[in-house]
Structure 1
């Protein structure tokens, strides 16, 4: 099996790689913080978050703070495991 086969296609996008990198080191992070960190548009971030949520890699929490809606995210155990495998495969690829 080649080293490339161990890479997870779900994390090939730089935005998804960024989302997961942020979520594995933070318990919860809200949409605006994530958008600010990654410097992407609302629609771009939302589409990548939706794809990761469908794969069960992230959990979404919607609530109201005062009268304003707040959406926050965290990496699931499944997401953390899949991301760790992906990062390990990248490291092996870089080391040759």
Structure 2
């Protein structure tokens, strides 16, 4: 049996496709830097789960991790890289094709 790879789902980025990573990407897509606590509370995950998924996105070069201090307290901020922004746009475009039953060109 021949496998057909024309369905748009084949174009979904597997790094982004996890619900938690998708939520992170969506939260960061608005632009600017987002701190760890705000991001964690926004997407409603534990510290360890956020850290795990951020590591995956950072390894894929989709998210930049910025460490610094606010006063004497350590703080971590996240921002989408250009590569991450592009990958997220492509991911949204592919989802749109799927939900609108369009075929890939």
Query: Aligning the two structures, in what range does the TM-score lie when normalised by the shorter sequence?
Result: over 0.9
Q: Is 1:4 aligned to residue 6 of structure 2?
A: no
Name the count of aligned residue pairs.
Answer: 96
TM superposition shift of 1:26: 2.8
Does residue 57 in structure 1 map to residue 34 in structure 2? no
TM-score of the two chains, using structure 2 as the length reference: 0.89
Question: Unpaired runs of 5+ in structure 2?
Answer: 1-5
Shift of 1:2: 2.0
1:40: Cα distance to partner?
A: 0.4
Q: Work out the CA distance in 2 between the residues paired with 1:66 and 1:3.
A: 48
Measured in 2, the distance between the counterparts of 1:75 and 1:6 equals 20
- Tell me the CA shift for residue 78 of structure 1: 0.2
- Which has the greater radius of gyration? 2
Matched, 1:85 2:96: no
1:1-96 equivalences under 5 Å are: 1-96=6-101
- Large movers: runs of 4+ above 4 Å: none
With structure 1 as the length reference, what TM-score do the two structures score? 0.97
CA RMSD of aligned residues (A): 0.7
User: Could you list the runs of 5+ residues in structure 1 that have no partner in the other structure?
Assistant: none
- Taking the aligned partners of 2:64 and 2:87, their CA distance within structure 1 comes to 14
Query: Going by fraction, where is helix more abundant, 1 or 2?
Result: 1
